[in-house]
Chains A and B, each alone.
Chain A
Amino acid sequence: MPEPKEIDLRAAINAVSDVVQNRPRPLREFDQIYMKTGDMVLQSEIVARWAKGKRLAFIGDGDAIGCCVAYLHKRGILDYGPSEIAVFDFDERMCSMVTRFADSESLTTLRSHLYNCLEPFPGPMDFDCFYTNPPWGASNDGESVKVFIQRGIEATGGTGEGMVVIADDPELEWPKRVLANVQSFAIESGLFVQRMMPSLHSYHLDDNPDLRSCNLVFKSVPGRPTLTTSLAITDPARLANFYGRDNPPRVRFVREKKRLNYGKAHEDEYALELLERK
C-alpha cells in the first residue's frame, strides 16, 4: 500500500459529517449500531487505501462507509480510492440513501442493491474485494458473521480479498470465540488472514460504549477455482440466533416510507403554533 499523503482533517471530518447527516436512523433489532464519526473518518481512509483502484462490494453497510470512501475520493480529500463501490443491503432506507447521495454528489462510482444476504448473491461475482461489518454474533458464536463473509467471498468469486469488522474486546470472552470461529471459517473457505488491526473502532452502543471492533483482512489462497454459483441459506441451525439468542431473521427487507423531505425533521415530530395577528 502507498504511504498516505497528508490529509486535510477538517475537510475529511466535514465530508463524513455530510454522509452522517443523510444516514437513516439505526434499527437496533437488526443490530444496526453505528460507528462513531471520528472512527468513520479513519476507517474510510483505511478502506480507500486498501481498495485503491479496485472494485469493492459492501455486504451490508449501515455505517455508510461506502458513501464516505466514494465521497472523500471524489472531493479530492483522498487522492486514492476504489474504482467502483456497490453496496448490498436489505434496508431500503440505506440503499435509497446511497442512491440519493450518489446522485446529489455526482458519485458515479457508487451504487446500491437491495439484497438480503440469506438469498443467493445476485452478482456480479467478479468484484476484487469485499467489506462487511455484520451482526457480531455474540449469541451465535459468529454464525451471523460467517453468513456475511460467505456472501463477500461469493462477490469476489472466491478469488479476492475481504475486510471484516467484528468485535474485539480484551475483557469479554465471546469476541475471542467469534474471532477464532470466523478465522477458521475463512481458512476453510480458501482464505488466509493477511492482517489484523485490533481495537480500532467505537460505536454508539449505549450498553457498552467501550466495546471496540477490529479490521480482519483476508486474502484468497492462490490457485483456488472461481466460484460461479450462490445458494440460499436456509439451515435453521445457522439462523436460530442470527440477531441474538432465539432471534432468527424474519424480515426480508426493511422498506422505506417514501417522503419528500429526506434529511429534514419529520412533519409528525412537530406542529407550528402561529404568532397571533393583531
Chain B
Amino acid sequence: MSELIKPGQALLYMKVGTHAQESLEDIIARKTKEIEENGVGYWGYGGGTCHPQTMVQPFGKDYEKRGNVIYLCMQEMESKHFAEPIRADEWSTDGVDWNPFPECIEVLGSRYALVIRNLRKLDFDLILDTTRVALGNSMGAPGNKYIRGRVDKACLEVIDENVQTPEKVVKIGLVADIVAPYAVHVRNRPT
C-alpha cells in the first residue's frame, strides 16, 4: 500500500472512467490545465453518497482542523457514463449563494464537484477492509462492505488494523488533494 495510506488518514474513494462522453485521459489533461490556470480544479461527480454539504464539506473541515489533507483516491474503471456533456455555469457551497465559474473551468454533466489540487497518477493497492465510513448514515461501516453495487464512492478513514486475508482490494491509479471548500454544488445558470 502507498505511504499515503496510514492509520487516521482521510480519503475519498471514487471509481472513475469515461464521464459525460469524454475519456479519462482527456479529463486528466483538461483538469491538470484547469489547476495550472486557476489554482484549483473542479472534479465533477454525482450520486447521493457524497453530498457536498452533508458529507464532503464536514469531512474536509474536520480533517483540516487536525492538520490533515484528504486524498481523493480514484480507481479507474470501464464506464458507460453517457450523461449529456453540459457545462455547469455556476458553483455554490450551500446551494443558496452562487458564483460563476471562470472561463477556464469546465465541469461537464455533473451535479457536484470536488475542489482539487495536485492531481497526479499514482499506482497502489487500497485495502478497503482497513477503512471505515467516516460520517453519515453508514458511519463506522467497513469500506469493503460499504462499496458495493451502485455505491462507488465514499468518505473513508483508514483504521489501525491489519487484515490477513482482505476481502476487497482496489487498484488506485489517480490521486489528488481535496482542498477547501472541498465540494460544491454546480448548475446551469437559471434562465
Contact = CB atoms under 8 A, between A and B. Distances in A.
Interface stretch (A114-122, A180-188, A203-211, A221-229): A203-211
Interface residues of B, number: 26
Contact of A174 (B53, B61, B140): B140
B136 interface: yes
Given A171-B141, A207-B151, A138 B135 contact: yes
Contacts, number: 69
Given A29-B95, A207-B48, A207-B49, A246 B57 contact: yes
A245 B58 contact: yes
A211 B138 contact: yes
Q: Is the interface of B mostly helix, strand, loop or mixed?
A: loop
Nearest to B54: A244
Interface residues of A, number: 23
Interface of B: 47-49, 51, 53-55, 57-59, 61-62, 94-95, 135-141, 146, 150-151, 154, 191
Q: Is the interface of A mostly helix, strand, loop or mixed?
A: loop
A139 interface: yes
A211 B141 CA distance: 11
Contacts of A139: 58, 135-136, 139
B48 A245 contact: no
A244 B139 CA distance: 11
A244 B133 CA distance: 14
A28 interface: yes
22 contacts: A28-B51, A29-B95, A138-B135, A138-B136, A138-B137, A138-B139, A139-B58, A206-B48, A207-B48, A207-B49, A207-B137, A207-B138, A207-B146, A207-B151, A208-B138, A244-B53, A244-B54, A244-B135, A245-B135, A246-B62, A247-B54, A250-B94
